[in-house]
Amino acid sequence: MKQKLLLSALLCSSVQILLGQNGTRPDEAKVILGSQVVRTINVVANDNGTPGKTYTLLNVYPAVTSIGNITVNTVGGNATFQANHNGSQNDTFFYRAQDNLGAIDTNYVVVRKDALSLDQYPGDANKDNLCNHIDILNIGIAYGKSEIMREGIYFNNNWVLVKAYDWTLTNVKSNYRYSDANGDGTVDSAGDVGTIVKNYNRSTGFVNVHYSPTGGESFQLLSPDTVKTESSTGNFTVKINLGSNAAKIKKAYGLAFTVKYDPLQIKPNNIIFKASKWFSDNETTLNFSQINPNTGEVDITLVRTTGNGADGLGELGVIDVVIEDILQGIDLNFEITKPVLIDSVYNVLPVTIPTPKPVHIVKKSSSQINSTTKNSGLRYYVNDQKLSLKNENTKPLEVSIVNILGKEVSKKMLAPNQLIETETNLWSSGIYFLRTANEAYKIFVK
């Protein structure tokens, strides 16, 4: 073996001699101070590389100076090590192994404890003290890379400070270990993006976000100035553009931004972002959106995962919006804020945000019968897809809907001042009648 020592000499000799060595497996014989990790070390792996030798691990035990401070055990052909204290001194343990000729040798391993800083919050991938959609950019930059997973008590995805070894790769913003948000040793869209979602909008200390300076190509928000609807619900789309064939965004890698909307008029489940193929080579991107209902914001990120930038132009995506309870005109504004456009190493590129986009929602007057009688108090109207009924009485009102053959197709009980809508797209085209206790009204369904 690399170093043969008599057991009695090891137990009595100065530990300083031992501490000057690197140990049998110095690349594995290290832990983060205070991590409480259980480290498994194949202590005879190097020795088995000797021609004609095959070693079997017999037992392990701590050095005199480490007794009570560490726990070591054998598991098959490996030794398991765990520090039981937070002292900064290195720990040493011995092991006995027998070769294939029956000879027994004794060796030792020095386990180095690295006093790393508590400086990482899981999910803060770009080290700006805030966990949000902008961190997805760093996930895209480091996507698919694998190195050192976090260990012991630091292998978690909670918003608490953890320690971790630096990875060999870094970008302008941070080391890739920060992109490994959940600490499993691989940057991906499952565990790491999931950690960002779990800790979303959490922050600590001074938040230091660097947004894109103005001066580059301008965003565009494209939607009709006026949206007309025949029912109490209106649907429309807002397109988001950046760049064009004549003015491409050169060597872009990812883009994060926020769209503000009116949370008093739009419910969180009635607004959704759908990403488009913005990069000119149409490579797959990691797309992310998050609704902040309290502030009326949609956080959006589109980032590549290939490691190489590309030109971007045209439509970034569309926002689908549904407005409910339209009784009269509604005025809305959509605004882009806080853009971060980066290249493949996180250099921030300039863009220009546009003025807010106003959209006016109005309800059309129905072209069909729209009546109120003093006897029934029923108001109704139809369009191509829906029949709307409103009871303007102070008492409940029952309405039957029958076809021209006298067959009842539906029956509705309306509470006082209740408005209901019935889908008619599955009905046959023709004449129908609305019947109350006192009146009948003829309608035509296309």
In the chain, what are the domain boundaries?
7-114, 117-209, 219-363, 378-445
Read off the pLDDT of each residue in 141-155 and give the average, rounded to a whole number: 96
Q: Quickly state the pLDDT bin for 46 (edges 50, 70, 90).
A: low
| CATH 2.40.50.100 given to domain 7-114 | no
Q: What per-residue confidence (pLDDT) applies to 436?
A: 87
Q: Range with the lowest mean pLDDT among 16-20, 200-204, 441-445?
A: 16-20
Structure tokens at 258: 């926020």
Q: Which CATH number fits domain 378-445: 3.40.50.720, 3.40.630.40, 2.60.40.3080, 2.130.10.10?
A: 2.60.40.3080
| CATH 1.25.40.340 given to domain 219-363 | no
Q: Quickly state the pLDDT bin for 49 (edges 50, 70, 90).
A: low
**pLDDT surpassing 60 at residue 11:** no
**pLDDT surpassing 80 at residue 7:** no
Q: Quickly state the pLDDT bin for 28 (edges 50, 70, 90).
A: low
pLDDT per position as a tens digit, 98-139? 888 888 888 888 899 999 999 999 999 999 999 999 999 999
- Show the 3-state SS of the chain: CCCCCCHHHHHHCCHHHHHCCCCCCCCCCEEECCCCCCEEECCCCCHHHCCCCCCEEEEEEECHHHECCEEEEEECCEEEEEECCCCCCCEEEEEEEECCCCCEEEEEEEEEEECCCCCECCCCCCCCCECCCCHHHHHHHCCCCECCCCCHHHCCCCCCCECCCCCCCECCCCEHHHHCCCCCCECCCCHHHHHHHHCCCCECCCCCCCCCCCCCCEEEEECCCEEEECCCCEEEEEEEEECCCCCCEEEECEEEEEEECCCCCCCHHHEEEEECCCECCCCCEEEEEEEECCCCEEEEEEEECCCCCEEECCEEEEEEEEECCCCCCEEEEEEEEEEEEECCCCCEECCECCCCEEEEEEECCCCCCCCCCCCCCEEEEECCCEEEEEECCCCCEEEEEEECCCCEEEEEEECCCCEEEEECCCCCCEEEEEECCCCEEEEEEC
Portion of the chain with pLDDT greater than 90, in percent: 56
Most confident of 86-90, 340-344, 370-374: 340-344
The amino acid that residue 246 corresponds to is A
**pLDDT surpassing 60 at residue 251:** yes
Q: What per-residue confidence (pLDDT) applies to 201?
A: 97
